[in-house]
Chain A
Amino acid sequence: MKMAIKKVVKYVAICFLSALIGLGIVFTVSAQSSIPVESYTYWEDMSSEGSRKAVYSKPIFDIVAVIDSNVLNVAPFSELNDIFVGEKYIYLLDGSESRLTLIDKEYKLFKEYTSFSLNGESVTFNGASGVFQKDEYIYICDTENERVLVADMSGNVKREIQCPQSTLIPDDFRYRPVDFAIDSQGYTYILCEGSYYGMILLSPEQEFVSFFASNDVELGVQKILGNIIERVFPNNTKKAGSESVLPYSITALCVDSNDFVYTVTGSTEGWGQKGQIKKLYHGTGDNILKAGNINFADDGYSTSTVAGGLNQDLCDVAVDNNNYIYGLEGTYGRIFMYDESGTIISAFGGGVGEGKQVGTYQKACAIALNGENILVCDSLKNSVTVYKSNQLGLLIKKGRLLTLKGDYTASAEIWNQVLEQDSCCQLAYSGLARFFLANKNYNKALEYSKIGYDRETYSNAFSKIRENTLKENFWIIFLVSLILIIGIAVFLVVSTKRKISLVHNKEMQLVTSVMFHPIDTFSTIKEKRMGSVCISAALMLLFYLTSVLRNIYGGFLFTYYDAASFNALWEFAKSVGVVVLWIVANWLVCTLCSGNGRFREIIIVICYSLIPLILNSLLQLILSNVLLRDEAAFLNIINTVAYIIFFLLLCFGSMIIHDFSFGKFLRTALFTVIGMAIVIFLLILIVILFQQFSGFLSTVIMEMSMK
C-alpha cells in the first residue's frame, strides 16, 4: 500500500514540477499567506478635532503573487521604474535598460521590447521614466531624450511628442517627461521632472493649452513678515542670499474614468505635510477632494532610522472604479487607501527601504490597479507585488460605498460582519451608528457613534433624544424651572431687603461680593488688609480642578478627552502655572514702576479674579452635556463674557492695590506679560542647560565604565 502511495506521489510530483515550468508563473504565497508588517488605519477625532491615532487593523489585502524576471522567465531587470495597466496588457518599464515588458492580465509574459523602430531604424529609450497606453498606442516618457515616444503595438514609432512651442512656456523650462495620461476627451497631460509650473496640457489636436494644476506656494505668517522686512530694508547681501519660494512639484498623476485628474506631490515639509493627493476637475484644475487638506501619509517621521529622520514621500497614485484612492509612499514602502471623501481605509506594506520579505519594499516606485488587484512596483527588488482584497477587504469596501451613498440599511449587515472580523474598525461603528439613526434607534446610534467617535451622528441622535425628552417631559421641566426661577427671585429680593446673608464669614463674603462689587471689595482688601491667601490658593486649585473636570467630563460633542494623551501637567501649567507667573512677573514689574501693591495683595487680586473663569468652567461642564454642536455659540458667548469679567476684575483689582491709573495698569500689564515670557525663556534655558550637563555626566560615566 505504502509503495503504491509513493508511486502516486512521485508521479504527481513530477507532473507538478513540469506544470511549474510550463506555467511560467509561480505564486509565491502558495500556502497560508501572511504579511510581515501589520496593517493599520487611523482613528480620527479622538484626542482633538482633526487628530489621528494609528490603530492596528486586520489586513484587508492578501498578497497573491510576486512577479519578477524569474517568474516571467526573462533576463533579470535592471531597474523597474514604472508599471501601467492597459486595456489588454500590463506594461513594465525598465527605463535604465530601454526595456518594456508586456504581460497579460493573468501575469504571463506576452512580449518584450528593448527598442522601437522608426523608419527602419532602432529607437531606444534609455532613461525613460513613465509608460502609458491608450487606443493601441504605447506612450513612453523618454525623460533623458526629452520626448514622449508614441508607438503602435508592433513597436513602430508613430510620432514623438516634443516640447510644445508657446510663448506661455518659459525659456528656463526643462522638458523632461516623467508621467503621462490622456483623458477620454483626448486631452493629454504631460508631467515633467521638477516642473513647478504644473503639467503640460495639450488639446486633442496636440496643441498646447496651458500649464495645468500647479501647486500653490504656502506662506506662513513668519515667511510673509520676513519678506516684508527684507523688502523694506534691502541690501546687497540680503538680495544675494534671498531664495525664490517655489511650489513643490507634482511627482505623479493619473486620470480616472470620469476624467478627474489625480496628482500626488512627494516629500514636502517634514512634519506638516498635507494635501499631497489632489483630485482635480479637468476644466478648472480645482481640487475637489472634500478632505483635500489632510495628511495623506503618516504623521511625523521616524527619527530612529537615520540622522535627521526619514521624510514621508508619496510617489504615485491610482484610483479604482469605485473612486478608492491608493497612494504609494516610497520611503517607508506604504500603500495608503482612501475613500472618495479622503477618509483612510487602510495602510499596509512597509520595509523602510530595507524590505527583504514579500510585502515589504526597498524602493517602491509605482502603483497600478488590475481590476481588484493592486500592483506595486519596486525598482530595487525589480519585482511587482500583487495584492488582492480578502473577504474583509471586500466587505469594508462595499460597506463604505453603501454608507457614502446613504444606504445605511444595506450597509448595516456588512458592518456587523466587519466587526466580527475586526473590532477596531472605526468606519464600521460609524456606519452602524448612522444605520441606527436612520432607523430611529437613537440610543444605539448614540452608543455606536460614541465608540466610533462620529460626533456628527452623535449630535443628530442626541438632538432627537433631547427633543423627545423635552416633548415627553415638557410640563415637568417647565414647572420645575418656573419654581426655581421664582424661588431664586424671591430669595434675592427678600435677602436684599432684610439684608440676609448665607455667608457669615467676612473673608468669604469678599469672595462672593467680588463679582458684584469689585471696586468695593478690592478697596476693602487694600485698605483693611483683608483677603485671604489660603482662600486664594484654594481658588487657584479650584481653577485647575474645574479646567480638568471640564476636559474630562464635558459633553462628548465638545470635548476630546483621551486618557492616553491627556496631559494633566500641561493643564496645570496652563492654569496654575500662568497665574503664578503673573504673580511673580507683576510683582517684579510693579515694584519697579512704583506700584503700591504688596505681593500678598497681587496674589489675592489675581486669584479672586479667577472666580468668573471657575464659574465658566462649571457652566461649560454642565451645558456641554446638554447642548448640541449647532448651539456651541452659547458656550462661546459664556466663555467670552467670563474672560471679559476676569479682565475687568484684574484691571480694577490691580489699579486699586497699586494705585495705578488705567493707562499705567495697561502699561504694567504689558510689561508683566513680557516679564512672563522672559521667565519662561529663562526656565527653558535652565532645562536645556541641565539636560546638557546630565548628558555630559552620563557620557563621562559611560566612558569610565567602558574604560
Chain B
Amino acid sequence: MKRNFIKILILFLVSALTLTGCKIGGVKKVYFKAYNSQASQSEAGDISVENETYRLEWNDQNKSIIFTDIKTDREYSTIPAKSGTVQAEQLNTQLLSDIIIEYIDYENNLVTAIGSYDGAVLGGKVDCIKIENGFKVTYYFGNEEISVPVSYTLGSDGIKISFNPSEICENGKGIYRVSIAPYLCAISNKSEDSYLFVPSGSGALIKAGSNSNSNQIYSQEVYGKDPAVEQRYSVSNEQAVKLPVYGMKDGNKGFCAIISEGAETASIEAVCGADWFGYSSVYSTFQIRSYSSVRSFMFGTTSFNDLYSDGPIETVCSVDIIPLYDSKANYSGIAETFKKKMIASSSIKNNETPLNLIIYGGIMSKEAFLGIPYDSLCATTTLKATKNMINELSKKTNTEMSVMLKGFGSTGLDKGKLGGDFTVNKKLGSKKELFGINDFCKEKNIGLYFDFDLVCKKTSAWFAFGSSAKNLNNQTAYQYVYDKALRSQIEAERYVLASRNDLFDNAQKLLDKTENWSLSGVALDSLGNIAYSDNSQTKYMVKNGMAEDVEEILSKISKSGKNIAVADANLYAAKKADVIFETPSTSNKNDMFYADVPFYQMVFKGIVPMTSTAVNTALDEQSAILNAVESGAGITWALFDSFDTKLTDSYYAVYNTGVYDDIKEKIISETNRLKDFYKAVDGTTIYEHNILENGLRQTVFSNGTEVFVNYSDSDISVDGEKVPAKDFLLKIVK
C-alpha cells in the first residue's frame, strides 16, 4: 500500500516536472487560414466604382484608395495628400500605408508593427478585386507571411472600410491588431483651421503639430480599458471612450468616422506628428487576438507573462467614414451625423430633471468583538434619512428630480455579493422603508433608482473559479483596488467580474428577486459602463459582444416595466436607458488635447435625459455647474447623511464632501437659480456648440435658445450683453 502510494507520488512529480518545462508563449498552433501569396490576382490597373454621390478609385500606382465627392469634386485619399499633387517618395513611408498591422512573433513573444507600404507594397504585393459597390484589397506582407483583405465599399453617405478576421491568412506569426486607413483622416501640421476629434470622456480636440521632436501618440480603447487584463498598478484615472466615433476638421471639410462593427475590440488612436512627419491623424485600430498578462508564482516570487490567444475573434470590423462639409465640418456636425446614424431610432424620452441626487448608503468597515475582527457596514445614510432629504429638497425646490440610491445593499459601496445580495442592509433600514420611499417618489413624480451591481462581486478563490471572467490561462481575472498613495494593488481588496455567460442569469436574478419590491426604477451603474472580456470563450474575447449582450439585458429589464438608470454609460447602455447619470464632464486630459467639448451630451441631449457629474465632488464646483449648463445636463449632487472617521479608510473619494446638512442650502439655491434655464432648454437637442474667446463657450439649442458660458475669472461681453465671470448668459428666442 505504502509502496503504491510512493510510486504514484513519484509518477505525479515526474509528470509535473516534465510539464513545467513547457515555456509560456512558445510556438503555437496557428488557427488562421494558411498564408498563400498566390491566392488571388489583382485586376489590372486602376479600378473605379461610383454611386450618385461618391466615386471610389483604386490607384494602382500608389496602391492607395481615392474617394471623391462627385458633386463638390472634393477628393480624399488614404495617403494624406491630394492624389497626383504629392509624389509618394515625398512622404514618410508610414504615411503611405493603407493599413498598419501589429503581429506577434511567437518565437520571442514580441509584438511588432509594420505598415502596408513597407510590408506589402515594397516587401510583398497588393491585390485589388472588384466587389459589389467597391473593391477588396488584399495586402500580402511577404516577409511576415500574412495577408489581410480589406473591403472598401460605397454607401449613400460615405465609405465603409471593413475586414473580416476569418479571411486573414498567416504562417507562423499571428496578427494582433489592425489599423485601417490610418491617414485618411490626416491633417497637415501646417493647417491652422483644423483639429482632430476624439471621444475621450466628454470629447476632446487635438490640434495638429507637436511640441516634441517625435510623434506623440494617443490611444484609448473604445468602452474603456479591458478590466480582464490585469493592471499591476494604476498610473492615473481614465475618462474612457464611451462612443465609437472620431473625426477631423480641416478648413471647410471634415470626416465623421463611426466604428459600426466590432466597436468593443477597437481603440481610437491619434498621432500628433512631429515637424518632420508633417501630418497628424486619427484612426481606429482593431484588436483581433486576446491578450492577458498572467501571473505565475515560483518560490515566493510573482512574475508576469504576456499571453495571446491562439484563435481570433469572430467579428467583422468596420468603420463608416462620412465626409462633412462647410458648416457641418466640425464636431457639432460629427455629433449630428453620429446621432442620426447610431441612435436615430431611439424615441425622445423624458426631459432633463434640474435636480438629481446620488445618495450613498455606506461602506464596509472593520469592527472588533474582544479583539476578534469582523466586517460591518458603516452606515452613512439610512433610508429614513434618505426620505427626509428627498422630502425636504422636493418641498423647497418644487422641481422635478431623479434620485439614485447607491451602496444600500448588503456590503454598501464595497464589492460583495452580486447585486448587493439583492437586499437592503439592515443597518440602513428595511425593505419596507425602501418601498415607502418608492411610493413617496411615485406620488411626487420623482424618479427613484436603486443601484444593483450585476458585474462585480467579491468572493473566495474557490467560489470565484466557476463563475468569474477568466484570463487566457483560465485563471480568474481579478480586479483590484489601488493604494491611495503608491497606486499599487491592494490584494485584500480584490474582487472578480461575473462570467460573461452569467450576465443574463444575473439580470434574471435581479428581476426575480425584486419582483415584489414594487421598485419603479433600477440603476445598473456597472453594467452600463464596464465592458470586459471573458477568455473562457472565444466569443467573449477582446470585450467582443458586450454591447449586444447589455442591450439585450436592458431590453429585458425594460420590458418588465422598470425604468433604467445608468451612469457614465457606454453608447449601448446609454441609448437603452431612461436616464443617464453622471455623464462625463471632461476628457481624459491627455497632454495632446487642446480643448474639451461636451460631445457626449451633444449626442444624447433631447434623446435620453442626462445628469452632470456630481458637482460637489468636482474640483471646482462653480465650473462643474457651468459645465452642466453648457451641455444642458441636469445638476447632480452626491450626498450622504453623516461623517464618520471610519470613512477615512474608504477608497471612494465621494466621501470627502457631500454631508447633506452642510450643502443642502447650496443645493436649494442653485436649483432655484437654474430653474429658468432648464425650462428654456426643455425637450431640445443641441444644434451647435462653439468654443469662443478664451474661457467663453456657446451652445445653441434646437429651439434657438443660446447659452454663453464664461469659465474665466473676468466678465466677457457678447453682443453688448455681459457674461459675468464664472457664470452664464441665457438668450431665449421667443
Contacts and interface: CB of A to CB of B under 8 A. Distances in A.
B656 A31 contact: no
Contacts of A34: 585-586, 589, 618-619
Interface string A36-69: 1110100100100000011111110010001011
A552 B694 contact: no
A1 B704 CA distance: 8
A2 interface: yes
Interface in A245-273: none
Contact of B212 (A298, A382, A551): A382
Contact size range, B: 35 or more
A294 interface: no
Contacts of A566: 366, 368, 371, 373
A421 B659 CA distance: 9
Interface stretch (A180-188, A433-441, A655-663, A696-704): A696-704
Interface stretch (B74-82, B176-184, B485-493): B485-493
Interface stretch (A137-145, A229-237, A346-354): A346-354
A381 B650 CA distance: 33
B347 interface: no
Given A36-B238, A566-B371, A699-B296, A54 B694 contact: no
A62 to B, nearest CB: 6
Contacts of B20: 699-700, 703
Contacts of A360: 235-236
Contacts of B474: 705-706
Nearest to A688: B300
B484 A16 contact: no
Nearest to B693: A16
A421 B657 contact: yes
A356 B700 CA distance: 33
A298 B366 contact: no
Contact of A354 (B193, B235, B590): B235
A95 interface: no
Nearest to B642: A423
Interface stretch (B32-40, B159-167, B560-568, B591-599): B591-599
Contacts of B274: 76
Name the residue in B298, B648, B652, B690 with the highest tally of chain A Cβ atoms < 10 Å from its Cβ: B648
Interface stretch (B95-103, B442-450, B624-632): B624-632
Interface string A415-437: 00001111110000000000000
A451 to B, nearest CB: 6
B485 A54 contact: yes
Contact of B484 (A19, A56, A421, A698): A56
A181 B695 CA distance: 38
A36 B236 contact: yes
A688 B299 CA distance: 9
Given A19-B693, A70-B209, A563-B367, A31 B595 contact: yes
B706 A698 contact: no
Contacts of B623: 31-33
A26 B20 CA distance: 57
B473 interface: yes
Nearest to B659: A423
A35 B630 contact: no
A21 interface: yes
B700 A31 contact: no
A549 interface: yes
B366 A563 contact: yes
A704 B296 CA distance: 12
B691 A703 contact: no
Contacts of B594: 26, 28, 30
A305 B488 contact: yes
B220 to A, nearest CB: 10
Given A17-B192, A32-B586, A305-B232, A563 B656 contact: no
B711 interface: yes
Interface in B486-539: 486-489
Q: State the majority secondary structure of interface residues on A.
A: mixed
B694 A423 contact: no
Interface string B173-212: 0000000000000000000110000000000000101111
A304 interface: yes
Given A38-B653, A57-B656, A382-B211, A298 B235 contact: no
Contacts of B733: 1
Contacts of A58: 617, 619, 653, 656-657
Contacts of A359: 589
Interface stretch (A5-13, A104-112, A624-632, A642-650): A5-13
Contact of A31 (B19, B645, B655, B697): B697
B588 interface: yes
A476 interface: no
A55 B617 CA distance: 15
A305 B711 contact: no
Contact of A305 (B233, B653, B695): B233
B477 to A, nearest CB: 14
B688 interface: yes
Contact of A33 (B617, B620, B694): B620
Contact of B589 (A38, A357, A695): A357
B368 A33 contact: no
B662 interface: yes
B22 interface: yes
Contacts of B651: 56
B630 to A, nearest CB: 7
Interface string B206-234: 01011111000000000000000000110
B663 interface: yes
Given A17-B193, A34-B618, A6 B327 contact: yes
Interface in A339-373: 347, 350-352, 354-360
Given A31-B596, A563-B373, A688-B300, 9 more contacts: A9-B688, A13-B690, A31-B595, A32-B585, A33-B620, A36-B589, A304-B233, A381-B591, A691-B300
Interface of A: 1-2, 5-6, 8-9, 12-13, 15-17, 19-21, 23, 26-38, 40, 43, 46, 53-59, 62, 66, 68-71, 76-78, 298-305, 332, 347, 350-352, 354-360, 381-383, 390-391, 419-424, 451, 544-545, 548-549, 551-552, 563-564, 566, 568, 571-572, 688, 691-692, 695-696, 698-700, 702-707
Interface of B: 16-17, 19-20, 22, 24, 192-193, 207, 209-213, 232-233, 235-239, 274-275, 296-300, 327, 365-368, 370-373, 473-475, 483-489, 585-586, 588-591, 593-596, 617-620, 623-624, 626-627, 630, 643, 645-653, 655-659, 662-663, 688, 690-695, 697-698, 700, 704, 706, 711, 719, 733
28 contacts: A5-B706, A9-B700, A19-B693, A26-B594, A27-B695, A34-B618, A38-B484, A56-B652, A68-B211, A70-B211, A76-B210, A299-B485, A300-B486, A302-B488, A305-B232, A350-B235, A357-B236, A357-B590, A360-B236, A420-B662, A545-B371, A566-B368, A688-B300, A692-B299, A695-B297, A696-B298, A703-B19, A706-B473
